[in-house]
């Protein structure tokens, strides 16, 4: 977002210049003040701990600074606004068109700094730069029917304080706080005059001096109105409830539906289709709980934002539990971005999946000849009928189906040594065909597995190790110790194989429209998961933001 500050500056400067050409001592419009009041932040009164904490590190700030410098040198020389201003002074009409930046000398330096002792989290200093521009003015005055004005700005400096705020109806709000603007040298001339040259020539020095004084005294107020309204209107187009899996979401800025979601699933196996169908109705609340703060640690200054992270069914229903407090983020590397995810986020997701029947599993072994043979009541090698002879005796040469129903929702515990997944359910082998539905064997099943996650390009992969597994059959089936041992070992091996097969397919890194993420590491800690990553800002979205602000400033405006 900081890469667009320069355009806000030039657009607001243009608007202010044109208004001053019409009214040298204007105090701004009531319309602008009313719109500014309409975007004030909503009070945030939540007492919940965050589900997600985001840190923007010093190297991330440096990347934004370099992006801003590049944008200044590429965008401003090509800046052109066809229809800039239209209004009336008394009975006289005034029209300003075709603002074109002719030359631009980039600033010597751009400094972006975080302030922990200021209400403005970010301070942007743009050191002196120069530019020249032209614009056409048409009026009903006799001495000025038409003219092309030539504007020269020399030794311009700007210091800007940006304040990011939480909102109930938007991802965030932006306000311009501290602002200092200095224009040391300003020159004004004209050409292509249609009117009276004498009166305009005499008035030109007066217009130039008043215009320079007005710019220095009133620029920041003009900047606040335009910047806050245009940016906050733009950012409200993005959903505060982010889909868990990609959904087609219409964003006005894209002018067409775009696929936005936190998890990619292009490579998930067929057995996960039910997960996708349920997850399409799940959304994460990405609103900030509090205003961002600046944190100063051994690595430097970070901008910290706390997000809700709640997983909601149809954007409304949440999990019946709250997150635990997250530990502080101790960064040991110089990455651009750090994201700390509470185990609450994972367990909220598991709650909704459990609540809508994802973990009620039916497995007939059709995907593997080996496992299908294991589910038969009669065989020459090894199968369930050989382990439990009563099955083969009563129902020979039959194929059984393995079913599992969760008693409790699966639970994830995050610890420094890894991620632990706990499940508790009822497992059963049933005979299911057109003429029979018989439960042959049923029992209580408890399992714990340790998950290890790793990164590879834009995918997250994992491996699983089942560290605890117990199957306790009901009392209706009498089994010897050998059969019990096999019933505890065989399902554990099968479950570990299938879980590793699922994790080996990988999940895509979350897709965020405004930037592309490059994760570098995943580190579990107490009750949370820390992801370190770099990023690159999306140039196409930045261009769309420029077009949006360009259209805002180019729209006709009344005095």
Residues 490, 456: contact at Cβ < 8 Å? no
Question: 46 lies in a domain?
Answer: no
Residues 98, 85: contact at Cβ < 8 Å? no
Range of the domain at 451: 247-251+255-515
- 164: helix, coil or strand? strand
CA distances 278 to 136, 151, 164, 246, Å, are 58, 60, 34, 12
In this structure, the strands spanning 411-415 and 400-406 are: unpaired
Same domain, yes or no: 150 and 198: yes
Between the two ends of the chain, the Cα-to-Cα distance in Å is 29
Question: 392 lies in a domain?
Answer: yes
Task: Give mean pLDDT, residues 188-215.
Answer: 84
Question: 547 lies in a domain?
Answer: no
Same domain, yes or no: 228 and 281: no
CA distance 247 to 328: 33
DSSP for 357-382, written as a single string: TTT-EEE--TT-HHHHHHTBSS-SS-
Q: Is 538 exposed, middle or buried (0-12, 13-18, 19+ CB in 10 A)?
A: middle
Instruction: Write the pLDDT tens digit of every residue in 248-299.
Output: 543 444 444 444 444 444 434 444 677 778 888 899 998 999 898 887 777 6
Instruction: Count how many domains the chain has.
Output: 2
Same domain, yes or no: 200 and 342: no
The last residue of one of the domains, among 496, 515, 534, is 515
Same domain, yes or no: 335 and 419: yes
Question: 532 lies in a domain?
Answer: no
Could you tell me what percent of the chain has a pLDDT over 70?
Answer: 78
Mean pLDDT lowest for which of 224-233, 439-448, 472-481, 522-531?
A: 224-233
Same domain, yes or no: 206 and 347: no
- 388: helix, coil or strand? coil
Q: What is the CATH number of the domain that holds 397?
A: 3.15.20.10
pLDDT at 8 over 50: no
pLDDT at 439 over 70: yes
Question: 538 lies in a domain?
Answer: no
pLDDT at 462 over 60: yes
Same domain, yes or no: 353 and 234: no
- 226: helix, coil or strand? helix
Same domain, yes or no: 280 and 193: no
Contacts of 426 (CB under 8 A, 6+ apart): 404, 405, 407, 442, 443, 444, 445
Same domain, yes or no: 218 and 313: no
Comparison of pLDDT for 368 and 393, the residue scoring more: 393
Instruction: Give the pLDDT of residue 554.
Output: 52
Same domain, yes or no: 13 and 100: yes
CA distance 142 to 23: 17
Question: 530 lies in a domain?
Answer: no
Question: 353 lies in a domain?
Answer: yes
Structure tokens at 156: 């311009």
Look at residues 418, 431, 451 and name the one whose alpha carbon lies nearest to residue 528: 418
Could you tell me what percent of the chain has a pLDDT over 90?
Answer: 9
Same domain, yes or no: 287 and 196: no
Instruction: Write the pLDDT tens digit of every residue in 490-517.
Output: 778 877 887 787 778 777 666 566 677 7
């Amino acid at each position: 977002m900081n890469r667009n500050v320069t355009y806000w500056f030039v657009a607001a400067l243009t608007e202010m210049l044109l208004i001053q050409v019409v009214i040298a001592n204007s105090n701004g419009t009531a319309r602008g003040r009313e719109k500014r009041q309409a975007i004030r932040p909503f009070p945030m009164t939540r007492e919940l701990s965050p589900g997600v904490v985001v840190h923007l590190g010093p190297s991330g700030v440096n990347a934004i600074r370099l992006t801003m410098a590049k944008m200044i040198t590429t965008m401003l020389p090509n800046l052109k606004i066809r229809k800039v201003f239209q209004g009336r002074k008394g009975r006289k009409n005034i029209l300003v068109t075709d603002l074109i930046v002719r030359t631009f000398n980039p600033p010597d330096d751009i400094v972006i700094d975080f302030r922990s002792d200021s209400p403005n989290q970010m301070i942007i200093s743009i050191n002196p730069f120069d530019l020249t521009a032209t614009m056409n003015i048409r009026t009903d005055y006799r001495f000025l029917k038409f003219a092309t004005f030539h504007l020269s700005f020399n030794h311009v400096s700007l210091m800007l304080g940006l304040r990011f705020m939480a909102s109930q109806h938007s991802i965030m709000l932006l306000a311009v706080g501290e602002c200092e603007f200095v224009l040391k040298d300003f020159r004004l001339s004209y050409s292509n005059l249609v009117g009276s040259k004498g009166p305009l020539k005499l008035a030109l020095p007066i217009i130039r001096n008043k215009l320079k004084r007005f710019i220095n005294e009133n620029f920041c107020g003009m900047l606040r109105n335009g910047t806050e309204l245009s940016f906050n209107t733009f950012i409200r187009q993005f959903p505060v409830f982010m889909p868990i899996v990609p959904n087609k979401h219409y964003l006005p800025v894209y002018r067409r539906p775009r696929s936005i979601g936190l998890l990619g699933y292009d490579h998930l196996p067929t057995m996960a289709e039910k997960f996708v169908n349920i997850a399409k109705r799940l959304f994460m609340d990405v609103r900030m709980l509090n205003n961002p703060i600046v944190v100063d640690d051994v690595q430097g200054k970070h901008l910290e934002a706390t997000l809700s992270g709640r997983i909601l069914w149809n954007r409304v229903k949440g999990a019946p539990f709250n997150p635990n407090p997250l530990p502080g983020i101790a960064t040991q590397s110089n990455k651009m971005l750090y994201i700390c995810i509470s185990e609450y986020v994972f367990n909220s997701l598991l709650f909704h999946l459990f609540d809508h029947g994802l973990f009620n599993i039916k497995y007939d072994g059709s995907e593997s000849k080996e496992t299908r043979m294991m589910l038969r009541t009669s065989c020459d090698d090894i199968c369930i009928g050989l382990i439990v002879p009563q099955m083969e005796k009563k129902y020979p040469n039959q194929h059984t189906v393995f079913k599992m129903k969760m008693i409790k929702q699966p639970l994830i515990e995050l610890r420094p040594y890894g991620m632990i997944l706990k499940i508790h359910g009822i497992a059963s082998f049933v005979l299911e065909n057109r003429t029979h539905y018989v439960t042959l064997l049923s029992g209580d099943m408890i399992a714990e597995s340790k998950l290890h996650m790793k990164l590879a390009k834009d995918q997250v992969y994992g491996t699983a190790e089942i560290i605890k597994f117990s199957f306790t059959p009901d009392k209706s089936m009498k089994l010897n110790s050998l059969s019990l041992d096999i019933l505890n070992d065989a399902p554990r091996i099968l479950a570990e194989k299938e879980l590793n097969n699922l994790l080996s397919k990988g999940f895509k890194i979350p897709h965020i429209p405004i930037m592309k993420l490059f994760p570098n590491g995943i580190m579990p800690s107490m009750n949370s998961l820390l992801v370190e990553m770099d990023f690159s800002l999306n140039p196409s979205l930045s261009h769309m933001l420029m077009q949006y602000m360009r259209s805002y400033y180019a729209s006709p405006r009344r005095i």
